[in-house]
Structure 1
Amino acid sequence: MSRPRDPCPESLSKQDFERLSHFRYRLRCFLRLSENICREHGLTPLQYQLLLHLKGFEGREWATVGELAERLQAKHHGTVALVQRCEAAGLVERRRGRDDRRRMEVHLLARGARLAARIAARHQPELLHLREELSLPGWGMSP
């Protein structure tokens, strides 16, 4: 399978750079808002992301540590430590796999689900604003 070719840097227009700059700015604004919301609820941004990925995992409300590490784009051992901190806070629990007893499943507890729902609700106005802003014509790369 061949990789798509990287665009030639010389082919990028001033408008491409402006769009990318604006996108990164809006992304950073969203992340800053999210960080503040998480802290208001007594969580770190990573703890919230873990809860969000458990609540939003496709087809189920649990995940393995490996799946969570992928979603968080984190190292396995760092994700294990994060799960342990969330477990100590009463947000999640680890259980032996149903099909494979060697595998550990991370399950969202009621307290974690409530926090995830509250924090996610606080993100909705900014997400709506971003969706409207980023769906404007002209947000693609120039030919």
Structure 2
Amino acid sequence: MSPPARKLAKKDFEALSEFRYQMRRFERFSERAAQAEGLTPQQYLVLLHIKGVPGREWASVGEIAERLQLQPHGAVALVTRCEALALVERRPSATDRRQVEVHLLPEGRKLLERLAELHRAELQSLKGAFKVPQIDLPEQP
């Protein structure tokens, strides 16, 4: 049996509050940057997550849904809107005919690169402020 976790102290709430504040600041920056390029924040995230899949240059709709924490039909609608903007295209998988691959198109790549550079610079500016709070949380039974 583990010892009971200590009660959260004022400093724990301050750390959580600061963390959430810095997360929201970055999120708001990201929203504005995407909108300045004519995208919704979620459209930017679709592009980012396609490029960010480890080991390959495409993502499945299911992977996009998971990364964005959306229902699959919501991800399908989002990919459809990105397709209408000529940012991505769907291709049938060469290895699994049941799967559809979502690939970036040249315009999507250019847009993503511009936005990712802005995001990298913003993260650098937040480097000292964005700290994950260390809080002792009770263990779940």
TM superposition score normalised by structure 1: 0.87
Q: Which residue is equivalent to 1:83?
A: 79
Alignment pair present for 1:71 and 2:67: yes
Q: Extract unaligned runs of 5+ from structure 1.
A: none
Q: Extract unaligned runs of 5+ from structure 2.
A: none
CA drift of 1:142 comes to 5.0
8 A contact 2:22–2:130 mirrored in 1: no
Q: Which residue is equivalent to 2:13?
A: 17
Q: Which residue is equivalent to 1:141?
A: 135
TM superposition score normalised by structure 2: 0.88
Runs of 4+ in 1 over 6 A off after TM superposition: none
CA drift of 1:140 comes to 1.2
> What is the RMSD computed on CA atoms of the aligned residues?
2.0
Q: Which residue is equivalent to 2:37?
A: 41
CA drift of 1:52 comes to 0.3
Distance in 2 (CA, whole Å) between partners of 1:110 and 1:41 is 15
Equivalent pairs, count: 135
SS of corresponding position for 2:128: helix
Bigger share in helix: 1
Distance in 2 (CA, whole Å) between partners of 1:123 and 1:67 is 22
Distance in 2 (CA, whole Å) between partners of 1:111 and 1:72 is 22
Higher relative contact order (CA 8 A, sep 6+): 2
